[in-house]
A and B are shown apart, each in its own frame.
Chain A
Amino acid sequence: MAILSSLKLTTTSGFLQLNTKKPRYPVHHLPSPSQTALNFPIKKLLDELNPRDTLTLTRASNISISQTFTKLKSQGKVAFIPYITAGDPDLSTTIQALKVLDSCGSDVIELGIPYSDPSLDGPVIRASASRSLAGGTKFNNIISMLEDVVSQLSCPITLFSYYNPIIKHGIENFMSTISQAGVRGLVVPDVPFENTQRLRNEATKNNVELVLLTTPTTTTCRMKDIVRASEGFVYLVSAVGVTGARPRVNEQVPSLLREIKEATNKAVAVGFGLSKPEHVKQVAEWGADGAIVGSAIVKVLGEARSPLQGLRDLDTFAKSFKAALL
């Protein structure tokens, strides 16, 4: 496995590091993904928090994003969609975080590929990406990690990546690689709608749904084109700005939701700024089919005293959002 080989590169630290910065946490606290069984403290934690009911487990790679929404709609439920950055604080913690989020009842998980120049991210997610890149996170490592973990998840994964890394890897190669890793959705925030055709074609060939974004500044005419083309769900960016917690949800959201739902039957998930359970409850009441929580979750996980504490806090935090949607 690629992760194993990358771990062996730096024998002293046990995980790949680009520079000579001291690891934030003593390495022996971190579980090694070379073990297929979980490290005892983490396994114990997960079992304590979420007794596993294996009978209802469906494989994450088998269900598409749009199918997930269809199922939820039939149950009268609104999707909880957390976002975390791959590799923050490190990939082994990301594996555990994905499992924690899954067992908390996340319906779709958005996983961000860290990027050096994120034009749509605020300070929290930017810092998260910087930590991940400084720790040596590479695309191949993320893919290997996903190949390991997706089969253990019941909810599908959507990747969030800026366009340049996709171009560098080659669109066809990128799509087939992520598909083989079990990814079912993709969000690319800096490709204009007019230039998404090639991405969409390659995504479709690989059973990946390309989610498009619409924003408060998007004209109605353009919004209609966007929602017609969007796959998986429609991502409604709730605020004019970059990612980051906000005290209140933008009051334009209800009318924006109404306009979108006049134009399409596809599911609409609201993101940006949602940082409290009250926020997700509010957008659900306004008619959203899903609520995306990013910076608030990234902060809890990435800025904790230790990965273990971060995972504990993540569990509590994620459950509070899920509870607000019940």
Chain B
Amino acid sequence: MTSSTTTPKTIITPPLPKPYSSFQLPSKFCNRVTTPSSTSCTLIRDSTSVCMAGLPRPDSFGRFGKYGGKYVPETLMHALTELETAFYALAHDGEFEKELNGILRDYVGRETPLYFAERLTEHYRRPNGEGPHIYLKREDLNHTGAHKINNAVGQALLAKRLGKKRIIAETGAGQHGVATATICARFGLQCIIYMGAQDMERQAPNVFRMRLLGAKVKAVHSGTATLKDATSEAIRDWVTNVETTHYILGSVAGPHPYPMMVRDFHKVIGKETRKQALEKWGGKPDVLVACVGGGSNAMGLFHEFVEDKDIRLIGVEAAGFGLDSGKHAATLTKGDVGVLHGAMSYLLQDEDGQIIEPHSISAGLDYPGVGPEHSFLKDLGRAEYYSVTDDEALEAIKKLSQLEGIIPALETSHALAYLEKLCPTLPNGAKVVLNCSGRGDKDVHTAIKHLQV
């Protein structure tokens, strides 16, 4: 299989006139957007809308099978269409691609290494000397310490093209908030971050970082005061300020075009991995593993390989205090289908359809929903989803720190913890690529409370 080019490609589709200025209200023109047809999957070079089992990912309504869509108040519909149109237009814009790649290279520090975790591999070697080979995709080495910045950069550039000067975002662990505040400082954009009051306490270093970077951090006290409430508040801000504001949603959740757009800004992770795998061992990975909160780092790694049926895709969610405790965030394992934050997907809800409070020691996985594309891949059986508890994740932080000298984020630790169950089942020499989605500096004070070191 030939590798793709070294420079990360962004997305493509039919060309549309640009630049795209903020619309004046009320608009007098009919906005029938030219998007890939839902009945045919036209595969243009690196097409955004690819297929899986004959179904587009997504179709022109933003659906992945029955998941996805745009379940938002009518006030936002035009902004979503405008966003989608701009996103497709920029796909053919060489200047945009050059600017984006330049920032990813010179500011973010891409490409990130694919690192052979020698001691971790040795740890999982069986007594007969057999075992998988474990590689870590080092998204933790990006500027700001996580994969989140890939999407923040792309969307900030998009917002600039749309003429929006005010940026809002939600954040759980704070990594997406920090990435957004970072890029707003870089571009001189006004930045407001919504964060659950409970998350602000457990991720205090990130709150300070956002404020130091010039962003305003607004505490959200309503509901459970965590990520889902911060997201709901950001949506309400967007409904109110839609004409001046771009909402940089931090994961592959939310209404179309966000799941597709965020995935596409992160797909560089998978593209680099394919090239690096070929360079390192002359082949493809056998298994991909990533933690899943909203699902952005997982989709970023998986997307490139979804059509490689011989590659296993494994997502790991947060089981909190245990799947039967009622205190977890294992949406794909224990949830059922509904609509949250604009998308049809699996979610955790009670018998009346009220969204329930999830629990995870990691703020970034503490979300009762999940990106619709993950729901789609789960139902098709293309991707597998498991979960690990808070305690298992904490053990994994210790393990990677002491075996490889890398302190992972609590979110990433969930993926690492799953290796305990996965590795004994894998054939000798199986190549495992685990997305090391973030570094754990932000989590040390949580780890201090729980770990004996």
**Taking beta carbons and an 8 Å cutoff, which residues of A are in contact with B?**
115-122, 126, 130, 133, 138-139, 163-169, 189-195, 213-222, 226, 237, 240-242, 252, 255-256, 259
Question: In this complex, what residue of A is CB-closest to B354?
Answer: A116
Name 29 A/B residue pairs within 8 A (Cβ), A-sorted: A115-B353, A118-B232, A119-B72, A119-B232, A130-B222, A164-B338, A164-B340, A164-B349, A167-B339, A168-B349, A169-B353, A190-B73, A192-B69, A192-B72, A192-B74, A193-B74, A193-B77, A194-B61, A214-B74, A217-B26, A218-B78, A220-B26, A220-B28, A221-B32, A222-B31, A226-B74, A240-B75, A240-B243, A241-B240
Question: In this complex, what residue of A is CB-closest to B256?
Answer: A192
Q: How many residues of B contact A (CB 8 A)?
A: 46
Given A119-B72, A168-B338 in contact, is the A221-B30 Cβ separation under 8 Å? yes
B243 surroundings in chain A (CB, below 8 A): 217, 240
Is the Cβ of B239 less than 8 Å from the Cβ of A116?
no
B341 surroundings in chain A (CB, below 8 A): 117, 119
Is the Cβ of A220 less than 8 Å from the Cβ of B239?
no
**A173 CB to nearest B CB, Å:** 12
Is the Cβ of A117 less than 8 Å from the Cβ of B232?
yes
B18 at interface by CB-CB < 8 Å: no
A191 surroundings in chain B (CB, below 8 A): 71
Most buried by B among A169, A217, A219, A221: A217
Is the Cβ of B25 less than 8 Å from the Cβ of A220?
no
In B34-79, the 8 Å CB interface with A consists of 61, 69-79
Is the Cβ of B353 less than 8 Å from the Cβ of A164?
yes
**A198 CB to nearest B CB, Å:** 12
**A272 CB to nearest B CB, Å:** 10
CA–CA, A259 and B347, complex, Å: 40
B281 at interface by CB-CB < 8 Å: no
B236 at interface by CB-CB < 8 Å: yes
A-B pairs, top 9 by smallest CB distance, nearest first, are: A168-B353, A221-B30, A165-B353, A241-B240, A116-B354, A120-B73, A215-B75, A164-B338, A164-B353
Is the Cβ of A192 less than 8 Å from the Cβ of B70?
yes
Question: In this complex, what residue of B is CB-closest to A190?
Answer: B71
**B407 CB to nearest A CB, Å:** 34
B337 at interface by CB-CB < 8 Å: yes
Partner of A117, one of B72, B239, B355: B355
Partner of A167, one of B72, B232, B338: B338
CA–CA, A165 and B347, complex, Å: 12
Given A120-B239, A217-B79 in contact, is the A165-B352 Cβ separation under 8 Å? yes
Is the Cβ of B74 less than 8 Å from the Cβ of A167?
no
Is the Cβ of A195 less than 8 Å from the Cβ of B27?
no
A192 surroundings in chain B (CB, below 8 A): 69-72, 74, 77
Is the Cβ of B73 less than 8 Å from the Cβ of A164?
no
In B331-359, the 8 Å CB interface with A consists of 337-342, 347, 349, 351-356
B354 surroundings in chain A (CB, below 8 A): 115-116, 133, 165
CA–CA, A252 and B25, complex, Å: 9
Is the Cβ of A167 less than 8 Å from the Cβ of B337?
yes
A226 surroundings in chain B (CB, below 8 A): 74
CA–CA, A132 and B338, complex, Å: 22
**B176 CB to nearest A CB, Å:** 19
Most buried by B among A218, A237, A259: A218
**A294 CB to nearest B CB, Å:** 14
Given A167-B339, A189-B73 in contact, is the A221-B236 Cβ separation under 8 Å? no
A166 surroundings in chain B (CB, below 8 A): 353
Most buried by A among B76, B342, B352: B352
Is the Cβ of B339 less than 8 Å from the Cβ of A217?
no
7 more CB-based (< 8 A) A-B contacts, given A119-B236, A164-B339, A217-B26: A119-B239, A168-B352, A193-B77, A219-B29, A221-B32, A255-B26, A256-B26
Question: In this complex, what residue of A is CB-closest to B80?
Answer: A192
Partner of B30, one of A165, A190, A217, A220: A220
Question: In this complex, what residue of A is CB-closest to B23?
Answer: A217
Given A217-B242, A240-B240, A252-B25 in contact, is the A167-B79 Cβ separation under 8 Å? no
A115 surroundings in chain B (CB, below 8 A): 353-354
B167 at interface by CB-CB < 8 Å: no
**B395 CB to nearest A CB, Å:** 33
B232 surroundings in chain A (CB, below 8 A): 117-119
B338 surroundings in chain A (CB, below 8 A): 164, 167-168
In B77-91, the 8 Å CB interface with A consists of 77-79
Given A189-B73, A216-B25 in contact, is the A242-B355 Cβ separation under 8 Å? no
In B229-264, the 8 Å CB interface with A consists of 229, 232, 235-236, 239-243
CA–CA, A83 and B83, complex, Å: 33
Is the Cβ of A240 less than 8 Å from the Cβ of B69?
no
Question: In this complex, what residue of A is CB-closest to B369?
Answer: A117
Question: In this complex, what residue of A is CB-closest to B223?
Answer: A116
CA–CA, A289 and B232, complex, Å: 32
B61 surroundings in chain A (CB, below 8 A): 194
Is the Cβ of A219 less than 8 Å from the Cβ of B26?
yes
CA–CA, A193 and B239, complex, Å: 17
B228 at interface by CB-CB < 8 Å: yes
Is the Cβ of B355 less than 8 Å from the Cβ of A240?
no
B29 surroundings in chain A (CB, below 8 A): 219-221
Given A126-B222, A139-B352 in contact, is the A217-B75 Cβ separation under 8 Å? yes
Is the Cβ of A116 less than 8 Å from the Cβ of B30?
no
**A23 CB to nearest B CB, Å:** 21
Question: In this complex, what residue of A is CB-closest to B231?
Answer: A117
Given A213-B74, A214-B74 in contact, is the A190-B339 Cβ separation under 8 Å? yes
B71 surroundings in chain A (CB, below 8 A): 163, 190-192, 195
Question: In this complex, what residue of B is CB-closest to A242?
Answer: B236
Is the Cβ of A215 less than 8 Å from the Cβ of B74?
yes
Question: In this complex, what residue of A is CB-closest to B71?
Answer: A190
B355 surroundings in chain A (CB, below 8 A): 116-117, 164
Partner of B78, one of A122, A138, A219: A219
B229 surroundings in chain A (CB, below 8 A): 117
CA–CA, A108 and B243, complex, Å: 33
A221 surroundings in chain B (CB, below 8 A): 29-32
**A269 CB to nearest B CB, Å:** 15
